[in-house]
Structure 1
Amino acid sequence: MASEIHMPVPECLIENINGRLVVNPVTAKILSAIRQPVVVVAIVGLCRTGKSYLMNKLAGKKKGFSVGSTVQSHTKGIWMWCMPHPKKPDLTLVLLDTEGLGDVEKGDNQNDSWIFALVVLLSSTFVYNSIGTINQPAMDQLYYVTELTDRIRAKSSPDKYEVQDSANFVSFFPEFVWTLRDFSLEVEADGQPITADEYLENSLKLKQGNDKKTKNFNEPRLCIRKFFPEKKCFIFGYPANFNYLISLEQLQEEDLNPKFREQVADFCCYILSHSKAKTLSGGITVNGPRLKSLVQTYVDAISSGDLPCMENAVLALAETENLAAVQKAIAHYDQQMGQKLKLPTETLQELLDLHRASEKEAIEVFMKNSFKDEDQVFQKKLADKLEAKRDDFCKQNMKASSDYCMALIQDIFHPLYEDVKKGTFSKPGGYYLFIKKMKELKDKYHQVPRKGVQKEETLRTYLDSKENTADTLLQTDQLLTEKEKEIEVERIKSEAAEAANKMLEEMQKKNQQMMQEKEASYQEHMKQLTEKREMERAQLIADQERVIALKLQEQRRLLQEGFKKESMKLHEEIEALKRRLGICNFL
């Protein structure tokens, strides 16, 4: 639970060791304990632009992330701070602060590009922090966004309906929030006041022309518009009327400009209220362990010289999660059967009914905890394990019944055969006395409840082992004529044949019950799989429709601005998405 998370200070999650990114295993382990969905808010920007100050305010703390007060960059790599979400108790807030982009100490823009790409991949809200207005230098500093398609792969291999450029990324890219610090100008256009969001939209408008300068002007703007159709902007004035950067975190609230305090409060309120839980394609909600897996998978790919691939990361995550889902389902099944099952059961159907109810719940547990189970590999593993569990319980049930019945038989019939040894029935008329006594003892045996599925077979096996006793008494009883003995022999044979037929019928009935149970199990698996697929399909369609709607908005804007070529490119992406959506609707 989020309330159990105790991170008094941020810890480094991804270390930057001489330009090489490495996951800190101790910090990553903290994520494993977070079972709630996570809201991941990450911030990037140039060095010494006050990123850490904003993150500390989101954490509700005055200190935490290192706030640089000199020309030296403090934060190296990516730092993490986890805490209960202050507004949403069912979520956990994960804050990610990054080393400053463009740090002269590194002299490595490639490292900056990987940091930028990682936080885009990991966050649900992506904050870009800069100083002053949105002008061309500010855009030039954001050129990392133009490299995203060179740094990230959506799929391991494209299919025939592969959508080009940004369309594959939009469905899971985070919301983009641009924070402008130390903004001293009036926010207006054509002499009229405008909102910060309108200012951002105006700043992202393209210019006509095909020369290199115009292309350089348009490229980052176009990338932001295509990759991040959901955008928000916040403008902050100067925090104080003196050199606040020397000790911003040491300043008291009353030392800060009231307007700045209001702007920071608005920013925090928006981020905490609007930021959503991190999700993957298909609406898969990310919790702590899943976030840890994504972090490790992406960093491993970068370290190996490969590109982080979203599809591969999800499949690697699914492999681990689905195996765990099978284990959770089996554990639930064992718990339910342990609580409800008392061996031996009176009938096989009683055991099978308990199994079926527990199996249904186990499949539900698996469906809830699994995702992207390609070709139902893990569901089949679960089905095999549940079938083996059922068969094992059937064997245990038979043994428990046999053991109980044999003990009962020994208790009931042992005195009878002791009397036979003593010669009690070795006299004229003794055979019928033995048969009468045998019938009384059988009735006594049958009156005992809950003997289980082996009650008849165990008794028959026992009596068959004692068959010579009755034969001997019959043949030596001097009161009986030879004709009476022949009749009695035929009666015994007839009873034995009838008992054998009854046993055969019982065996056929059990086989039929097991076949019906197997079919019912298959149908339950298919029913729940179909329901899960319908939910996933609905989610996928909703995702695709949302992306199409956002793309259509952007296409209309480009058309209105006179950029027909870019508008046509988006049109092609939209048509490819519609074809993919058509396939989803068909399936």
Structure 2
Amino acid sequence: MASEIRMLAPVCLIENTEGQLVVNQEALEILSATKNPLVVVAIVGLYRTGKSYLMNKLAGKNKGFSIGSTVQSHTKGIWMWCMPHPKKPDHTLVLLDTEGLGDVEKGDKKNDTQIFALAILLSSTFVYNTMNKIDQRAMDLLHYVTELSNLLWTVSSPDLDGVEDTTNFANFYPDLVWTLRDFYLDLEIDGQLITADEYLEKSLKLKEGTDKSLENFNLPRLCIKEFFPIRKCFIFDSPAHWKKFAQLETLRNDELDPDFVQQVAAFCSYIFNRSKTKTLSGGIKVNGPHLKSLVQTCVNAISRGDLPCMENSVVALAQIKNSAAVKKAIAHYDQQMDQKVQLPTETLSELLDLHWACEREAIEIFMKNSFKDVNQKFQKQLETLLEARKDDFYNQNMEASSNRCSALLQAIFGPLENEVTQGIYSKPGGHFLFIQKTEELKARLRKLCRNICSPNSLQVIPSYRQTWLSQ
């Protein structure tokens, strides 16, 4: 298998030509031949921030992914480099280097976010490369593209063979590694030293309060924490004097800043030892053909226009997530009621108590899974559906009670009907015997009704049998 995935140099996986993303068939053929499980590491960040240098280090090379030394962005589209995994036998390491964001020559933010979203969807470890510090702008961008990735996965995943549970996207998301280049702050809070991981978690900490400004502050942090439960942060000093950046590919380690060399080594060690195998919903371990299908499906979805513009993305995502939350809540209600309700119930209040308990659980599930339900539109929709189900159970309960009592009456009074038809009581003293027999049957009916019938059930006894009971 190793001979199938030894690539001497990267190839372009997804070409970006004048804002149009096109899959490279040569790269797909390489993936088709790769049957091992894949560990996919993708990196995204602003252009000219050293992304390609880190990816070359993961490949164990100084050269490979293009490293530019001018203000012009070098990497276009998404480039792929496959190789045997250095720490996991019978696994393939797939490195994805992406076009830098914010290229002033391109000036197309929509195209940037498409590439960003694809990197999240394709990877099992997602490296977010930013400069200097964690700021609100970088966090907002990650939040926004995370939402777009979620939306793109939701609309495109039905095309993927064997992939189920498209609403459970959190299980599909990659681990997040946030790399900070040319870091200049002191890792210190209130005079106490902190780690890079603690700095990241502090940056993601929520603020208490309910006003709109705090909600806007907390929302991106909530989403990032939800979609990236496994998070890691690395900080990097400047690799060398800025005048040497043009020769970075050729510099030996002893010509670089020692701290930077150590930081890169720690980064590579973490990626090799902690990055997980790419997994789809349902526990499917992704191999080359799976990744090929995923690439084609996502790029086709983007080409169809399924990835909305920034203004509409949150609205579209809310529509999908909240609709799924309603379905999940209703499914839970139906399952619980089917398990707990035996029709007919002893009393109407027993049925209503079961309904209200299951309704509360359903609403809790909806609240847990909903997203920006403006004006409680979807919650009201859920409540309407639950009310309709309550009415349906009520009608089913009445019908079941009626059927049971009708069967009971037939079983008890049917023989008496036959005796009357046969003329058994048409003789002297027959009326007295009929009354006596009727009272015995009425007593038997009352006893059985107390044990198995709803009190309301007697309301539906056919009128001629009501006449018997009143004699």
TM-score with structure 2 setting the length? 0.61
Give the direction of change, closer, same or farther, for the CA distance of 1:242–1:216 in structure 2 (3 Å limit).
Answer: same
Residue 275 (1) aligns with residue 275 (2)? yes
Give runs of ≥4 in structure 1 deviating > 6 Å: 568-571
State the one-letter code of the partner of 1:272: F
Query: Which residue number corresponds to residue 234 of structure 1?
Result: 234
Deviation at 1:81, TM superposition (A): 0.3
CA distance in 2, matches of 1:570, 1:243: 56
Identical amino acids, percent of aligned pairs: 65
Question: Which SS does the other structure have where 1:152 is aligned?
Answer: helix
Question: Which SS does the other structure have where 1:82 is aligned?
Answer: strand
Query: Which residue number corresponds to residue 298 of structure 1?
Result: 298
Residue 572 (1) aligns with residue 363 (2)? no
Deviation at 1:2, TM superposition (A): 2.3
Matches for 1:284-295 after TM superposition, within 5 Å:
284-295=284-295
Question: Which SS does the other structure have where 2:154 is aligned?
Answer: coil
CA distance in 2, matches of 1:3, 1:192: 51
Q: Once the two structures are superposed, what CA deviation does each residue of 1:19-41 show, in whole Å capped at 9, x if it has no partner?
A: 11100001211111111111100
Give the direction of change, closer, same or farther, for the CA distance of 1:251–1:216 in structure 2 (3 Å limit).
Answer: farther
Query: Which residue number corresponds to residue 251 of structure 1?
Result: 251
Q: Once the two structures are superposed, what CA deviation does each residue of 1:89-147 show, in whole Å capped at 9, x if it has no partner?
A: 21011000000112222221111121111111111111000011112233244342343
Query: Which residue number corresponds to residue 112 of structure 2?
Result: 112
Query: Which residue number corresponds to residue 406 of structure 2?
Result: none
Larger radius of gyration: 1
Query: Which residue number corresponds to residue 199 of structure 1?
Result: 199
Q: Once the two structures are superposed, what CA deviation does each residue of 1:300-342 show, in whole Å capped at 9, x if it has no partner?
A: 121122359xxxxxxxxxxxxxxxxxxxxxxxxxxxxxxxxxx
Matches for 1:299-378 after TM superposition, within 5 Å:
299-307=299-307
Matches for 1:77-226 after TM superposition, within 5 Å:
77-142=77-142, 143-153=144-154, 168-208=168-208, 213-226=213-226
Query: Which residue number corresponds to residue 44 of structure 1?
Result: 44
Structure 2 unaligned regions, length at least 5: 309-363, 371-471
Query: Which residue number corresponds to residue 438 of structure 1?
Result: none
More helix by share: 1
Say how many residue pairs are matched: 309
TM-score with structure 1 setting the length? 0.50
Query: Which residue number corresponds to residue 54 of structure 2?
Result: 54
State the one-letter code of the partner of 1:108: D
Cα RMSD for the two superposed structures: 2.5
State the one-letter code of the partner of 2:231: K
Give the direction of change, closer, same or farther, for the CA distance of 1:220–1:245 in structure 2 (3 Å limit).
Answer: farther
Deviation at 1:263, TM superposition (A): 0.6
Deviation at 1:205, TM superposition (A): 1.3
Question: Which SS does the other structure have where 2:301 is aligned?
Answer: helix
Give the direction of change, closer, same or farther, for the CA distance of 1:295–1:147 in structure 2 (3 Å limit).
Answer: closer
Structure 1 unaligned regions, length at least 5: 309-567, 575-587
Deviation at 1:282, TM superposition (A): 1.3
Give the direction of change, closer, same or farther, for the CA distance of 1:569–1:46 in structure 2 (3 Å limit).
Answer: farther
Are the equivalent residues in 1 in contact too, given 2:152–2:301 (CA < 8 A)? no
Q: Once the two structures are superposed, what CA deviation does each residue of 1:142-183 show, in whole Å capped at 9, x if it has no partner?
A: 3423433444316659xxxx99xx972111111011011111
Give the direction of change, closer, same or farther, for the CA distance of 1:569–1:282 in structure 2 (3 Å limit).
Answer: closer
Query: Which residue number corresponds to residue 374 of structure 2?
Result: none
State the one-letter code of the partner of 1:79: W
Give the direction of change, closer, same or farther, for the CA distance of 1:571–1:273 in structure 2 (3 Å limit).
Answer: farther
CA distance in 2, matches of 1:27, 1:150: 26
Give the direction of change, closer, same or farther, for the CA distance of 1:108–1:190 in structure 2 (3 Å limit).
Answer: same
Are the equivalent residues in 2 in contact too, given 1:146–1:220 (CA < 8 A)? no
The farther-off stretch of 204-213 and 176-185 is 204-213
State the one-letter code of the partner of 1:195: T
Deviation at 1:208, TM superposition (A): 4.2
Question: Which SS does the other structure have where 2:75 is aligned?
Answer: coil
State the one-letter code of the partner of 1:148: S
Question: Which SS does the other structure have where 2:113 is aligned?
Answer: helix
Are the equivalent residues in 2 in contact too, given 1:167–1:573 (CA < 8 A)? no
State the one-letter code of the partner of 1:144: V
State the one-letter code of the partner of 2:96: L
Are the equivalent residues in 2 in contact too, given 1:54–1:264 (CA < 8 A)? yes
